[in-house]
Amino acid sequence: QQQVKQSPQSLIVQKGGISIINCAYENTAFDYFPWYQQFPGKGPALLIAIRPDVSEKKEGRFTISFNKSAKQFSLHIMDSQPGDSATYFCAASMSTGGFKTIFGAGTRLFVKA
């Protein structure tokens, strides 16, 4: 119930294309859903986050779509660029008990120039 399942494991997209990464969760107590971007040799960096009271959030080329009834959320990267090549993690946390954050297994994105 504490798991966050992420797919695909890896993704290759052409420059200018749309990258889509999907996540699913079970525990309905989760109330904060961030996405992190990690480059080799670095720690994850917060990219964008959403709360379950909205269905979509957009920041620049990055959009989160959230489906509360299906317990799924996804990250869309529009106009993907080679500099977006990184590992992306979805995550979920709950405000009860201190916002412990559970991470998905990650998606390795490669954007071909």
Partner 1 sequence: DAGVTQSPTHLIKTRGQQVTLRCSPKSGHDTVSWYQQALGQGPQFIFQYYEEEERQRGNFPDRFSGHQFPNYSSELNVNALLLGDSALYLCASSLGGRGGYTFGSGTRLTVV
Instruction: Please list every residue from 90 through 109 that binds partner 1, using CB under 8 A.
Output: 95, 97-106
Interface with partner 1 includes 43 (CB under 8 A)? yes
Q: Which of 12, 46, 54, 78 binds partner 1 (CB under 8 A)?
A: 46
89 binds partner 1 (CB under 8 A): yes
Which residues are 89's β-sheet partners?
36
Please answer whether residues 86 and 109 qualify as being in contact, where contact means their C-beta atoms are separated by less than 8 angstroms: yes
Q: Are 85 and 12 spatial neighbours (Cβ–Cβ below 8 Å)?
A: no
Query: For partner 1, which residue of 6, 74, 80, 85 counts as binding (CB under 8 A)?
Result: 6
Interacting residue with partner 1 among 12, 45, 54, 78 (CB under 8 A) = 45
Q: Which two three-digit tokens encode residue 37?
A: 């971007």
The only residue of 34, 65, 68, 109 in contact with partner 1, by rule CB under 8 A: 34
Quick check: 32 binds partner 1 (CB under 8 A)? yes
DSSP labels for 41-69?
TS--EEEEEE-TT-SEEEETTEEEEEETT
- List of residues contacting partner 1 (CB under 8 A): 6, 32, 34, 36, 41-46, 49, 89, 95, 97-106
